[in-house]
Amino acid sequence: MTTTSPSVRTAAPSGRQAPPTALGALGLFTVLLGAALPLIDFFIVNVALPSIDRDLAAGSALLELVVAGYGLSYAVLLVLGGRLGDLFGRRRLFLAGMAAFGLTSLACGLAPDAWTLVAARVAQGAAAALMLPQVLATIHSSTEGPRRARALSLYGATAGLAMAGGQILGGVLVTADIAGSGWRAVFLVNVPVAVAGLALALRAVPETRSDRPAPVDVPGTLLLALALLSLLAPLTEGRAAGWPLWTWVSLVVFPFAAGAFWWVERRADRRGAVPLVPPSLLALVPLRRGLMVVLPLSLGFSGFMFVVAVALQQGLQMGAVASGLAFVPMALAFFGASLAGPRLVRRWGTRVVPVGAVLQGLGVAAVVWSVGSDWQGLSVWDLVPGMAVAGLGQGLQLPVLFRVVLSEVPSERAGVGSGVMVTTQQSALTLGVATLGSLFLSLASSPAEMGTALRTTLLVQLGVVVLTLLLSLRLPRTVK
């Protein structure tokens, strides 16, 4: 038996390991497609909620569950999905996740009632949690050097476009009402995409896995799930439910669950076992400091997307398509900045991240000024400068942060590292909608007050951008 790559293994007829298989252009396109689908579905449903409410008589509490059920199962199971990829093979888990995502999307699109839709959304989030961690782990394990830098930049561009494009696509599909499908089209559109993704993955995605796979850490998995649920569930459901007793009890449980999780993981690490989130992994300075920046950046990003979309649709009575078009300048600027990222990082290192934070802050400030100067007469064109500058700033940050977080993660731990990162990102996206969204909705009791509520909320987000800037100054100066 000869040893080749520590993470990429393919079977050879003689029983010896074959040379590692690199991730080609078609394979990269395929895994990026798998990365886009879960993020699109996190945002695409926002513009479909009014139609779902009319069709299924869901009510506000169940509508919140349609959104929160997906986000919660997605966030809770991401690290486990990364561990399973390390254990059973990332291509295999990617295929399983893609197939499950297509089937659960079909179930969402055919749901006869609100509770069935909620259950299908929870299952869809679990399928996404199987698929998404394999994307970064595959890139990390089957590319290196400049190819890895380009692949991670494209991943960041894909993530940004998926988050901005989700609401645009949702508005188009709901308005088009294809064959009378209405809101169901936002889910059914995933089915042919998933079928195409399966066919491409079978052909072009190499199999990678850890050479030292570890069994699933059951206590750690259960405690992490309890910690995330006890924090995210009350924050996402509390406002719609009127903050009942269970929400406060759950928030009290959170610090104890988080502390118990960390104690169990440290104890397992000391015993020589392999915990779900090894504390030694979090000891890596680039990973730890990078995650500290990803958290406020993602929180502010999702909160911004949510409150602007709601304000334009409910406050100014813009249609779903018109409000979606407001995000086009942000998406285009984000994509361009992401593609330029590798060249800028080679010259300036991670200093591009604080520069991006400054630009993002200027963009948000420009949006605040536009909203404050003439709210009732505000048009999509008035938002273009601020949205474009904000997108440019975000595009200079997110792809570089992905590289920073994974830069010193060993290939055999690629699944765990990517799982930790996307869990942080997804939890922050959910927190952003829950916190900034709740602040905005509590201030906007009527359409006439939405302009003031939007300005106030965006000023709070501007404070989050300042925090991102300060934390980014502590990043390592260079990145692999």
Tell me the per-residue pLDDT of 269-324, one tens digit each, with 9 for 90 and over: 888 777 878 887 888 888 889 999 999 998 988 888 888 888 887 788 887 777 77
246-282 confidence digits (pLDDT tens): 999 999 999 999 999 999 988 888 887 778 788 878 8
pLDDT at 10 over 70: no
Average pLDDT for residues 218-245, to the nearest whole number?
85
Full DSSP string of 146-195: HHHHHHHHHHHHHHHHHHHHHHHHHHHHHHHTGGG-GGGHHHHTHHHHHH
Interatomic CA distance for residues 316 and 331, integer angstroms: 22
pLDDT at 99 over 90: yes
Residue 423's pLDDT band (cuts 50, 70, 90): confident
DSSP 411: G
Phi/psi at 109 (nearest 5 deg)?
A: -65, -25
Among the listed ranges 43-52, 137-146, 391-400, which one has the minimum average pLDDT value? 43-52
Give the model's pLDDT for residue 213.
65
Give the model's pLDDT for residue 31.
93
Give the model's pLDDT for residue 8.
41
Residue 21's pLDDT band (cuts 50, 70, 90): low
CA dihedral of 16, 18, 20, 23, whole degrees rounded to 10 = -140
Of 369 and 373, the structure prediction assigns the larger pLDDT to: 369
Give the model's pLDDT for residue 3.
36
What percentage of the chain exceeds 70 in pLDDT?
93
100-119 confidence digits (pLDDT tens): 999 999 999 999 998 999 99
Average pLDDT for residues 204-212, to the nearest whole number?
81
Interatomic CA distance for residues 115 and 109, integer angstroms: 13
Among the listed ranges 40-49, 125-134, 373-382, which one has the minimum average pLDDT value? 40-49
Interatomic CA distance for residues 417 and 281, integer angstroms: 8
Give the model's pLDDT for residue 14.
37
Give the model's pLDDT for residue 200.
94
Token duo for residue 18: 């074959």
Among the listed ranges 211-215, 295-299, 336-340, which one has the minimum average pLDDT value? 211-215
Q: Whole-number mean pLDDT of the chain?
A: 84
What percentage of the chain exceeds 90 in pLDDT?
30
Interatomic CA distance for residues 245 and 454, integer angstroms: 29
Burial 138-171 (b: 16+ CB within 10 A, else e): bbbbbbeeeebbbbbbbbbbbbbbbbbbbbbbbb
Residue 200: count of CB within 10 angstroms of its CB:
18
Interatomic CA distance for residues 387 and 101, integer angstroms: 32
pLDDT at 68 over 80: no
Taking CA atoms, 385 is separated from 327, 328, 372, 458, 467, in Å, by: 11, 11, 15, 16, 23
Residue 19's pLDDT band (cuts 50, 70, 90): very low
Residue 422's pLDDT band (cuts 50, 70, 90): confident
Average pLDDT for residues 183-207, to the nearest whole number?
92
End-to-end CA distance of the chain: 31
Give the model's pLDDT for residue 12.
38
pLDDT at 191 over 80: yes
pLDDT at 190 over 90: yes
Residue 217's pLDDT band (cuts 50, 70, 90): confident
Residue 55's pLDDT band (cuts 50, 70, 90): confident
Give the model's pLDDT for residue 5.
36
Give the model's pLDDT for residue 96.
95
Residue 61's pLDDT band (cuts 50, 70, 90): low
128-177 confidence digits (pLDDT tens): 999 988 998 888 888 877 888 788 878 877 877 787 778 778 878 888 87
